[in-house]
Chains A and B, each alone.
Chain A
């Protein structure tokens, strides 16, 4: 039985903007298991991105606890968070966020240079099927290719967890399928715990576990005994 890599307890996040309090998270308690692919569903403003950002150390909770592999990260300092992101977490965003002045290989190498036991950048690119595009700059690649470079960059350091915020949000379904395939493959072959945020309910069929967010809380949780392959899903 896989162990719980993340455990959150009564996780709350409140933003104050112009003297108005916005409750992004209202006591989220859940567990994410090692090696699983988890999908977080929910409409805009339901709190799933805030939740992901807290898991990834990009944001801190207002209250509650977040345990990562037994360690409480909610109270981490800026320096500890930087180190946590550097060593443990891989991110994939909707808009890829590649460095335009570095080519695909260099974008991946950027991360492997600061990691302890990274894979070879070429190997990471091969995992997402882009070994032939290594010398291309972001401006010379399609959106799907750029997103796959972003995935290669995220997994190259062999993170324990891969956090993906709307990874297919900016892509058409055919390209999106390629990206999902890459995510599924790294999850399967490397055993990286993967969390994917999406609006797209069809993607739930790929996950081992699905949480649906609503108004800053977890509305429902379901376990998928037989996840589908990326190629089998359409939207």
Chain B
């Protein structure tokens, strides 16, 4: 049996349904972001941990030119090392049916016999290549799907300059390549990049590494000292061309996955509280008004013998019902969007399974924080209701006291009386006006943030892929070459321009900071790969000295003129002190740049080139591609023009979804705030507005009074929203920044304009709804009622 007061709660909810729904939706946005971000984060993190653990993902990695297998037992002896696999890994060019351009890939060897003790493969279909096979290959599942490859299919690959025909025996996934990205690519493209797993026997023959390995994957025992192991490994591999051991943080796949997860976690922490804050304010607004209107009822209840607690409890129930509605809506939406997001991630990140971590605690937390926010918002109003002595409650409230602000201006004829009414009402509730402004500003900031991502990515692409890197293809050479390699490549069909560079993996050290990276040597006046200065314009490379990307210089704490210690890892860690000659804008990777001749001098091993940039005739690309597939000596290829297109397509799709989602949420928040403000205004001023109608003002003129107040609030909230949006965008850009990737902070004028448009459109929509109420004002009933 429902008590009379509870019936009142239900009827109040029904009566106030549009406002209740508006608040519920804002709360739901908070719960949705919490569940979506936290839920996806937990599921993905759990999936990552389980996958890493079950498939023995390595903790330390080391590349070496050629190390004899006899070193492996010594590595296993190092304290803290649980297992070591000595593998061969090398770049490959793949000839795929139905694709004129070559695909590129990585070929990795599998241990003979038993399961790999490190980086075990998940066999999705088929089997792994047999230990003594020379032409069997297990391929990355995504690559197989992209090319429709089945067990028993064949394709050709150029590995270490040698062409082989391989037979697919299995489709696999590897914890090492959860995020598999090709050279020069910004996003994974399963069609153009594949991972191949061959028997050790097959690869050692192809790469001329009999009895040796060039890649060690090391798994540590729990609690092992990672830097200590890395030092020991470096010592062991130093004489064999070791390029320096590195941990998971420098492993591409892991680093991408981790940075994505960190962003999700950040989103879960920042966004939900802001939504809930706005919702709390809205609850405060409607409850305060409701209690003001129900003074007499409160007085009556108390006169009848209800306690203050019962009265407070009654209003608390109403508020909790709103919170429950918000949590429910948010939970359903959050669960749905969260699954969608997790699935979207699994398109980028290849997991053999997804551990959907059910998080009942998150739902409990959602209901808890929603209720908390609602009660916090309602606290003051409820307290006032409970405190109201019955005799006072039964009396009409004292009329509001207005001050004579704006009298002078009004007298001078600058403003109509209707505008003065609107403005005075606004100034009469400055805190409320300010809070409403903040709520709308928050909505605007969401739109600005979403659009700034487009601006930032666009600008990044413009800088990195058009202004700096202008080649159509980058060719990696299997072995270092001298300058005459240029002539050979220039003879290839369709080639218009060729430049050769030198890429050296290095370890930077300065001010106690250490960072793995690389240095690219570029010839004087390089045009296909330009270095951009901080002004984003191409800079001339100095005859000596090193140009560092601003992120790297910042990390190392060096400025132009200072020295950085550079260890060339391909040359036994040969160390040089190089002077920083300048800083550059670079958003992808952390590569320093030098003049080619200066780099040759610094390393001291004569002229060695390993990277060639090509600009080609776009109409004759097929001829170039087919020639490249036949060219020995190429270890890998990056087709930058295709990378650009792929990135652009990817961005358009993902950004479109993201912007729609942000805009929808911004509209919900703006609508919720504006609608509730209008309704409160209408409730407080119904009598006043009806009086105006009686005095002969038209509905439109009467509505103008409300519009003036709301219009001022909306207009003032926009700059605040822009500012907040800029701040959020800066936070997002900072959150995305990693060694792999950084974004310039770009907030274009159109981001501000569209954000304003979203807010104004939502406000006008609200205005339309409210306008109908104003037009339908019951003049007689309103005027007859005692205030």
CB nearest neighbor in A for B401: A139
Residue B698 at the chain A interface, CB threshold 8 Å: yes
Please report the C-alpha to C-alpha distance between residue A78 and residue B418 in the assembled complex, in whole angstroms.
21
Shortest CB-to-CB span from A116 to chain B, Å, is 11
CB nearest neighbor in B for A137: B402
Contacts A97-B783, A102-B421 known; A85 to B402 CB distance under 8 Å? no
Please report the C-alpha to C-alpha distance between residue A83 and residue B698 in the assembled complex, in whole angstroms.
8
CB nearest neighbor in B for A58: B779
* CB-based closest 6 A-B pairs: A86-B696, A101-B424, A97-B691, A85-B696, A139-B399, A110-B417
Shortest CB-to-CB span from A2 to chain B, Å, is 25
Question: Are A139 and B400 in contact, CB atoms less than 8 angstroms apart?
Answer: yes
Shortest CB-to-CB span from B254 to chain A, Å, is 63
0 or 1 for each of A129-141: is its CB under 8 Å from B? (1 = yes): 0000001011110
CB nearest neighbor in B for A52: B780
Please report the C-alpha to C-alpha distance between residue A93 and residue B782 in the assembled complex, in whole angstroms.
11
Residue B537 at the chain A interface, CB threshold 8 Å: no
Contacts A97-B687, A106-B420 known; A114 to B697 CB distance under 8 Å? yes
CB nearest neighbor in B for A166: B784
* Total chain A interface residues with beta-carbon distance under 8 A: 36
Residue A31 at the chain B interface, CB threshold 8 Å: no
Question: Are B786 and A95 in contact, CB atoms less than 8 angstroms apart?
Answer: yes
User: Of A56, A100, A103, A153, which contacts B688 at CB under 8 A?
Assistant: A100
Q: Which of A83-118 contact B (CB under 8 A)?
A: 83, 85-87, 89, 91, 93-95, 97-103, 106, 109-111, 113-114
Question: Are A82 and B696 in contact, CB atoms less than 8 angstroms apart?
Answer: yes
0 or 1 for each of B416-436: is its CB under 8 Å from A? (1 = yes): 111011001100100000000
Please report the C-alpha to C-alpha distance between residue A90 and residue B611 in the assembled complex, in whole angstroms.
91
CB nearest neighbor in B for A140: B401
Please report the C-alpha to C-alpha distance between residue A110 and residue B694 in the assembled complex, in whole angstroms.
12
Q: A58-B779, A97-B687, A138-B399 are in contact. List 10 more A-B contacts (CB 8 A).
A: A49-B780, A82-B696, A91-B695, A98-B691, A100-B402, A101-B424, A101-B688, A102-B402, A102-B424, A139-B399
Report 20 cross-chain contacts, Cβ distance below 8 Å, ordered by A residue.
Answer: A53-B780, A58-B780, A82-B693, A83-B696, A85-B693, A87-B696, A89-B696, A95-B783, A98-B691, A100-B400, A101-B402, A101-B425, A103-B407, A109-B417, A110-B418, A111-B696, A114-B696, A135-B407, A139-B398, A139-B400
* Total chain B interface residues with beta-carbon distance under 8 A: 36
Please report the C-alpha to C-alpha distance between residue A153 and residue B416 in the assembled complex, in whole angstroms.
16
Q: Which of B727-774 contact A (CB under 8 A)?
A: none
Chain A residues whose C-beta falls within 8 Å of the C-beta of B786 in the assembled complex: 95
User: Of B410, B688, B695, which contacts A111 at CB under 8 A?
Assistant: B695
Q: Which of B686-712 contact A (CB under 8 A)?
A: 687-688, 690-699
Please report the C-alpha to C-alpha distance between residue A178 and residue B102 in the assembled complex, in whole angstroms.
100
CB nearest neighbor in B for A108: B417
Residue A225 at the chain B interface, CB threshold 8 Å: no
Residue B239 at the chain A interface, CB threshold 8 Å: no
Please report the C-alpha to C-alpha distance between residue A111 and residue B697 in the assembled complex, in whole angstroms.
9
User: Of A86, A93, A94, A101, which contacts B420 at CB under 8 A?
Assistant: A101
Shortest CB-to-CB span from B702 to chain A, Å, is 10
Chain B residues whose C-beta falls within 8 Å of the C-beta of A79 in the assembled complex: 698
Chain B residues whose C-beta falls within 8 Å of the C-beta of A82 in the assembled complex: 693, 696-699
